[in-house]
Structure 1
Amino acid sequence: MTDNEVCFDPSYRCPIQFVVDLLGNKWSILVLRELFKGPRRTNEFLKALPGISTKTLTVRLRALEAHGLVKRVVFPEIPPRVEYSLTPKGLEFRPALMAMHELGTQWLDQKPCVCPLDMDGQTPPNTGAG
């Protein structure tokens, strides 16, 4: 089998499909975008992502955590405080998200935004990664 034919082998996993399956949907991508600003609590996600329900947010965060992209920390306080942050594996999505940002900026007829991903390759402060 040649390298060009490997994609048609039923046992072969397409890398693009793998990442699409990993992320699930637009909300996962936008949750990751928000986490590049630093650790976030549920209410911060709900404010930053108009249209997302608490249930959908919880499902997306749990899936991202199960895939090792997001870390959940529960602080022993009353009421309990929960924060989410990117793991080192989650930080690896930066180039892909930056490419999406650059393409969207190129295609949209508007002033570019200041993106939390656009930090000259630096990890944003207080990501809680590690």
Structure 2
Amino acid sequence: MYLIAKLMNTKRLILLIVISLLTAGNIYLGAQLFICKMELSRANQSLYIKQINEKTLVFAKLFVEKVLAGESEVDFEDRLQLENSIREINDPKIFDQWQKFIKSENDQQAQQEVRALFTMLLNKIQQ
């Protein structure tokens, strides 16, 4: 009888140790999962910012090539390319400023709108 009771206590002790180890393992793995999710979130945010910066720079380069350094008037294809490029940035304020620029009535107003547009683009890149 004593031997059976001792064997039962040993089994309980082993079971308690196994349950404790499994619980500790679950807590550790849960903490690791949380850390990995946080790192993934930071990496995704960084990637998003990089993509927006890249799209902004693509538009700025295209604008300089087609509008500022262009020898002739901007044709329909170039204007469409610029329009699509500005839409890819997906920023309503920048798009509104673009609309102000293309609706400019004279050169002086167009220059003011271009300055405002490029200021907004540069501020967007710094984020």
- If the length of structure 2 is used for normalisation, what is the TM-score? 0.36
- If the length of structure 1 is used for normalisation, what is the TM-score? 0.36
Q: Hey, which of these two has a bigger chunk of strand by percent?
A: 1
Higher CA-based Rg: 2
